[in-house]
Amino acid sequence: MNVFAPFTGMLLLPDKAPFGSVSPVTLADGRPIATIRWHNWSMSARYEILDPVNGAVLAAGSRNGLGSREFQLTDAWNRPLLSLKLSRWGAARPGTLAVVGGRPLTTQGNWTARQFTVTDEQQRPVARIVNNSPLLSLRPDGLVFELMAPVMSVVHAIGLAQSMRAAVESERGSGVSISFG
User: Residues near 181 by Cβ (< 8 Å), separated by ≥ 6?
Assistant: 13, 14, 15, 16, 23, 25, 36, 38, 47, 141, 161, 162, 165
- pLDDT (0 to 100) of residue 54: 95
Q: What is the pLDDT of residue 50?
A: 96
Q: Please indicate whether residue 99 or residue 89 has the higher confidence score (pLDDT).
A: 99
Phi-psi region of 46 (alpha: psi -120 to 50; beta: other; left: phi over 0): beta
**In the predicted model, is pLDDT for residue 57 greater than 90?**
yes
E strands in the chain? 9-13, 22-27, 32-38, 47-50, 57-63, 70-75, 80-85, 95-99, 105-110, 115-119, 125-131, 143-147
Distance (Å, whole) CA 72 – CA 82: 6
If one compares 69 and 76, the residue with the highest pLDDT of the two is 76
Residue from 167, 132, 164, 161 nearest 147 by CA: 161
> Could you tell me the pLDDT band of residue 143, with boundaries at 50, 70 and 90?
confident
pTM above 0.75, yes or no: yes
pLDDT for position 2: 95
* Cα–Cα distance measured from residue 59 to residue 73, given in angstroms and rounded to the nearest whole number: 7
Chain CA centroid to CA 60, Å: 11
CA distances from 2 to 51, 83, 135, 139 (A): 11, 21, 35, 30
What pLDDT is attached to residue 69? 78
